Structure 1
Amino acid sequence: MPHRPLARALTALVALLTAVVGAFLVPGTAQAAAAVNYVALGDSYSSGVGAGPYDLSGCLRSQKSYAPLWAAANSVDSFTFPACGGAVTDDVLSKQVNSLSTSTTLVTITIGGNDAGFVDVITSCRFGSTSSCTSAVDGAKAFITGTLPARLDRTYAAIKQRSPNARLIVLGYPRLFETGSCGLLAMSTYKRTILNEAADVLASVTAARAAAAGATFADTRPQFTGHGVCAADPWIRDVTGVIEAYHPNAAGYRDGYLRALTTVTG
């Protein structure tokens, strides 16, 4: 009699293990549940501007961007890559979300920087006066806090509607600059500091809107710390990169963005 409870427990354990093993052996069960159909949306920070070489799409897509790197490392069942350099939220809504479907299981996106006019802001700071830089940064911050939230909400909602079974991961933008000594021709420490502060505002707003949409926010700033423009080992291209200026290089996508994505996907 005293051994019967133990025997029952062992029998139950064997049955459980059999069921688990059987799930992995029966076609159409565990394999189907584990299918990963990945769609990478977004702007130049998703398409891979700065990493090169680029495809012939006109979107400056690089296989060295974080999205194709993650897809290759995780042997996904399907990978679609409509991210496009220069994209704003309206471009995602009018062109990119068409790549989504009910079979999509993972969506990543970087978006919002172009809406906020960061190219013009950085250009103003790089080549303009301190006052023009300050004015441009203040204008961008006002847009980020006042106008951008509704645009992000609309974009995330459309993604969720098109791919209701997908996990949405929103990746943020890094701080672009280190604020130490950077040579005589570099932007001043003040300019670099206020640009980094604007990046922090953008990250905060993006994280909040992603959370409100039930998405996961992957903050890239910790990974890029110590690797901005003016670092000894920069992962961000400086102004000499022309169209690639102030975008991650291949190391930035691999060791910065891919690491941030992997941190939240496991």
Structure 2
Amino acid sequence: MRVTRLLTAVASAATLLTATAAAAAAEPGFHHYVALGDSYTSGPFIPAQRFDPLGCGRSTANYPSVVSGALHPGEFTDVSCAGAETGTMTQPQKVPFNGTNSPQLDALRADTDLVTLGIGGNDFGVFGQLISTCPGLRAGDPTGNPCEEHFTSDGVNTLETAIGDLRPRVETVLAGIHQRSPDARVLVVGYPRIAPETGSCPDVLPFADGDYGWLNRVEQDLNQALESAAATGGAEFVDTFGPSLGHDACARGSAWINGQDQNIFVAAAYHPVKAGMAGIGAVVLKALR
């Protein structure tokens, strides 16, 4: 009987050690993780906000924090900042409340071995123009596509043209990352969907019904530019647009994205909520594993 119990204990211990070893193998170990990006990375208004500086809207529950919490790197540095563009990767960024965010690439070191980058939506004012223009056009043509028409000149979509110019900017940023951290694994994190695949919810996302599909196409073009830049810039692209299907701003309780109503205790308008950051974090972790 004692021998049987001993053998059982040994077998259980061996099983536990095997499971632990498998889990450890599945979790990549990183020495220094640096998160770079704009407001879709920093998480403005998502509790709790950091104060270094406050104007960056950097949340302790953003997706870099989710990733860091799961991976337990030796060091974690998050310098993402609302309003960041590719240019502020190498230049100081002025932020509200008289603050300044240092050039984000300054956070990189020779021993940095993991970098996530979420950037591009603010370049050429792409997201800013969408948010500031489209809602105001709905009333004049609620079932049409007035915003698409507004940004189309001589048959050319000006936002798509701007997005086409984004790729070399991101490639330059990636070159700067590799120069500073040559051994780093670099992930370019795309943007999650704002609008649903079908249907509309004008009380939450006040775009004209016909502009929902166009908004999705603009986001897809943006993500395609980022994916292409990653492919040529020695980085991996993490698609969050596909995984966020069913989690758009119209998804109510399942939404990853806030709608038009700014809530200083939840999230900025048209930005990820806490659940969205958790979802994006899970997608990034899946890519890493």
1:212 maps to 2:232: yes
SS in structure 2 opposite 1:262? helix
Which of 52, 60, 65 pairs up with 1:63?
60
1:258 maps to 2:281: yes
Cα contact 1:106–1:167 (8 A) shared by 2: yes
**How has the CA–CA distance of structure 1 residues 160 and 236 changed in structure 2, closer, same or farther, with 3 Å as cutoff?**
same
> Aligned runs of 1:37-48 on 2, under 5 Å?
37-48=32-43
Unaligned 5+ residue runs, structure 2?
A: 1-20, 22-27, 92-102, 139-144
Which of 164, 167, 172 pairs up with 2:182?
164
Cα contact 1:220–1:260 (8 A) shared by 2: yes
Q: In the TM superposition, what whole-angstrom CA distance separates every residue of 1:102-151 from its partner, at most 9, and x where no partner exists?
A: 10000001000000421122221111254344333722111111x21111
Report what 1:8 is aligned to.
none
CA apart distance, 1:202: 0.6
Moved more, 223-232 or 201-210: 223-232
Cα contact 2:110–2:180 (8 A) shared by 1: yes
Which of 112, 116, 120 pairs up with 1:112?
120
Counterpart residue type for residue 82 of structure 1 = V
SS in structure 1 opposite 2:262? helix
**How has the CA–CA distance of structure 1 residues 264 and 165 changed in structure 2, closer, same or farther, with 3 Å as cutoff?**
same
Counterpart residue type for residue 85 of structure 1 = A
Report what 1:235 is aligned to.
256
Report what 2:89 is aligned to.
92
SS in structure 2 opposite 1:223? coil
Cα contact 1:39–1:106 (8 A) shared by 2: yes
Q: Distance in 2 between matches of 1:212 and 1:237?
A: 33
Q: Distance in 2 between matches of 1:234 and 1:202?
A: 21
CA apart distance, 1:50: 5.1
Counterpart residue type for residue 239 of structure 1 = Q
Higher strand share: 2
Q: Percent identity?
A: 34
1:225 maps to 2:245: yes
Cα contact 1:43–1:88 (8 A) shared by 2: yes
Cα contact 2:86–2:170 (8 A) shared by 1: yes
Q: Distance in 2 between matches of 1:174 and 1:184?
A: 20
Counterpart residue type for residue 151 of structure 2 = A
Q: Distance in 1 between matches of 2:176 and 2:116?
A: 13
TM-score when scaled to structure 2? 0.76
Report what 1:135 is aligned to.
150
Which of 64, 71, 75 pairs up with 1:74?
71
CA apart distance, 1:207: 0.2
Q: Distance in 2 between matches of 1:200 and 1:65?
A: 23
Give the count of matched residue pairs.
233
Runs of 4+, deviation exceeding 4 Å:
none
SS in structure 1 opposite 2:249? coil
Moved more, 83-92 or 125-134: 125-134
Query: Pairwise CA RMSD of aligned residues?
Result: 2.1
CA apart distance, 1:214: 1.2
Unaligned 5+ residue runs, structure 1?
A: 1-23, 25-32
Cα contact 1:121–1:133 (8 A) shared by 2: no
